[in-house]
Amino acid sequence: MRRERDSKALLDQARQYAFEYIDAIEKRAVFPDEKAIENLDRFDEPLPEHWQSGAGTLELLNAYGAPATVAQTGGRYFGFVNGGVVPTALAARWMADAWDQNPALYVISPVVGKLEQVCDNWLRDLLEMPDGTVAGYVSGSSTATLCGLAAARYELLRRLDWDVNARGLFDAPPIRVIVSEQAHSSVFKALALLGLGKDRIERVPADRQGRIDASRIPVLDGRCLLILQAGNVNTGAFDAFEEICDPAKKNDAWVHVDGAFGLWVKASPARKVLAQGVELADSWSVDGHKTLNTPYDCGIVLCRQRDSLTAAMQASGAYIQYSEHRDGMMHVPEMSRRARAVDLWATLRYLGRNGVAELIDGMCERAAQFAERLAACRFRILNAVVFNQVLVAADTPEQTREILANIQASGVCWCGGTQWDNEPAIRISVSSWATTPEDVDRSVDAFVDARSKVLPDPADGR
């Protein structure tokens, strides 16, 4: 291993493979073909008894792994809210991988501790968060939601003179959890993991765009945890934060906002009105690897009250050496973890305030282009396109399903399916900086071609 490290031949080999992959990304099918999937069987081998060639290991990975990847860093992947990757951030990620830092404590990695603090400051500024808001850097918004809700559970029970860290949940005063019926599945998962249950949750109806019905939210008090949404996963719609948060805060309720991809709208002067009042909440969860296009993985929990988050994430041990600087493990569940702040910092520094706004506005413009062109081609658009999400349907549920299957098999683009208003729909998530107007036009043509296989029609609207 020392010889391989010193020669750097393996790193050069990996660099060559990476460059080849990047150069071909726009030319390849968005989803791997059947042969590439079948060739994954080449990885089915007994665990070797002896050392294997490093070069041969990379060759195997490149020959049979790379062809079976999904081209989500290209411009025509719209299946989930999976962002592309900013090249500067990717390069910073490579450097950070070589550093192989553990950001648990400042004394383990001063540079990552510093960059986490810088990112804290920049995020507060960019997203217009309250002074004192602290961030924790986790794997994704699912974990960020877990952290935010853990902070809420700790603080609400503390106010009721109950230390959940010491006494647990047995015989604890009950907390009321209020969510929209359109809340993301990760919210319910986090509540279950925290022992707050699923059956006890109070679910509030949503409107036709997936926004929580503010008029149906029950009267709140200091025992209440209210969970709102910045960017519905199907429609991209935003809850009415200003209308809802102001009375909630006056009644001492804790408000958490699931802003996995939508919270970044605050960085767009042209569109931040969509999330007006979101800064009134107590905690927020958001991903860098969605709208911001950092490399995977990059989730962020933001909390107005630092003490509530650090108490919920507490850890102790005689060997732990805290410092007067930022100690990252105080804000997240993990001790050992990836140094996500390096590529987040690189992304934010490279783009700057204006670049982030342009990134967000560009995605919204491509989504609007999708909706306009598909409507002109006689597809039904099921949502008001306010952000980066477009819901599309054909004339019948059967046609929608068949068209989606044809699109996914085409290799031109890839979209996912969902259910909306009790009917199947095709969900388009525009989440990559790399998506161009030409990518949208080519993808719309793929929609029309997919429909022609279901309903041949010479007047196809192209």
Q: What is the pLDDT of residue 297?
A: 96
Q: What is the pLDDT of residue 457?
A: 60
Question: Tokens for 239?
Answer: 């809850």
pLDDT (tens digit per residue) in 10-60: 999 999 999 999 999 999 999 999 999 999 999 999 999 999 999 999 999
Give CA–CA dist 177/253, Å, rounded. Answer: 10
Give CA–CA dist 206/180, Å, rounded. Answer: 6
pLDDT less than 70: residues of the chain: 457-462
pLDDT (tens digit per residue) in 253-280: 999 999 999 999 999 999 999 999 999 9
Q: What is the pLDDT of residue 319?
A: 79
Q: Rounded to the nearest 10 degrees, what angle do helices 141-159 and 185-193 cross at?
A: 50
Amino acid at 421: D
Q: What is the pLDDT of residue 389?
A: 98
Question: Tokens for 390?
Answer: 């477009």
Q: What is the pLDDT of residue 459?
A: 55
Give CA–CA dist 93/82, Å, rounded. Answer: 18
Given strand 254-258, what is the order of strands in its sheet?
134-138, 299-303, 283-287, 254-258, 224-229, 176-180, 202-204
> Residue 225, SS3?
strand
Cis preceding linkage at 297, omega within 30? yes
> Residue 320, SS3?
coil
283: β partners: 256, 303
Give CA–CA dist 398/424, Å, rounded. Answer: 8
Radius of gyration (C-alpha) of the chain in whole angstroms: 24
Backbone angles phi, psi at 426, to 5 degrees: -100, 125
Q: What is the pLDDT of residue 174?
A: 95
The residue among 267, 269, 301 whose CA lies nearest residue 282 is 301
Q: What is the pLDDT of residue 462?
A: 47
